[in-house]
Amino acid sequence: MSRLERGVLLVALATIAGLLLVALLAVQTDSRQVPAWSVPPSAIVAITTPRAGAQAATSAEGARRTTVPVPSPSLRLPRGSGAEADQSPAATHAGPAVVTRPPTARPAASHSLAELVATGIASNMGPGFGPTYLALPQGRGWIARICGPAACITRVSTDVGPEAWTHRVADLNVTDFERVCGCSWRMGLTTVTVVLEGRK
């Protein structure tokens, strides 16, 4: 056998040996791998980290603290009723407190504002009536303050008048008419405001 033939044979043998070695290593590697389906379910264990456990405990504790019973608003006593000092369960469930208020005093019957204050036309009765004459629709004995364009006077009524059909609020004597009007009694009429201050 020539030297060339021997070299080719050695190369072929080395190649075959290398292939066999690679195949052997591949078989050993496959035999060491464990298929995922071959692991029993009982071998799978859930792992809980310390941080996750602390968060779960905090959430549970927060839920317990949040669920605190709150009394119904309907059982709370109103402030200022005097019954909030008794906070016992019996007093709480006894129902709404009953507040008794003292009766309010009612004012005595009196004349309306329209009867006490009137603004309108006043006349004078001429020189034939005395210096104290004053006729009001309310009658005699009323203390009245009469104000006109020029002045105000306070007098006591001595007669009932004027007549309703005239729509006047007072009849004055000549002297008082000229004082409140600031004009001659011959003007006949003037505008005044009559305020009744009470009975004499």
According to the model, what pLDDT value does residue 8 have? 79
Mean pLDDT of the chain: 73
| More confident position, 32 or 20 | 20
According to the model, what pLDDT value does residue 174 have? 96
| Residue given tokens 């306070």 in the structure block | 154
Q: Is the dihedral of CA 173, 177, 183, 187 positive or negative?
A: negative
What confidence category does residue 186 fall into, taking pLDDT thresholds of 50, 70 and 90? Answer: very high
- Domain 114-199 belongs in CATH node 2.40.40.10: yes
For 145, half-sphere exposure in the C-beta direction (CA atoms, 13 angstrom radius) is: 7
How many Å apart are CA 92 and CA 56, to the nearest integer?
38
- The verdict on pTM exceeding 0.85 is no
Q: Using the predicted structure, report yes or no on whether residue 180 has a pLDDT greater than 50.
A: yes
Instruction: State mean pLDDT over 160-184.
Output: 95
Instruction: State mean pLDDT over 98-108.
Output: 46
**What is the rounded (10 degree) CA torsion for 148, 153, 157, 160?**
-10
Contact 142, 200 (CB under 8 A): yes
Q: Is the dihedral of CA 174, 175, 181, 187 positive or negative?
A: positive
Domain boundaries, the chain: 114-199
Tokens for 16, please give them: 């075959």
Provide, rounded to the nearest whole percent, the portion of the chain with pLDDT above 90.
41
The per-residue pLDDT for range 59-68, each reduced to its tens digit, is: 555 545 544 4
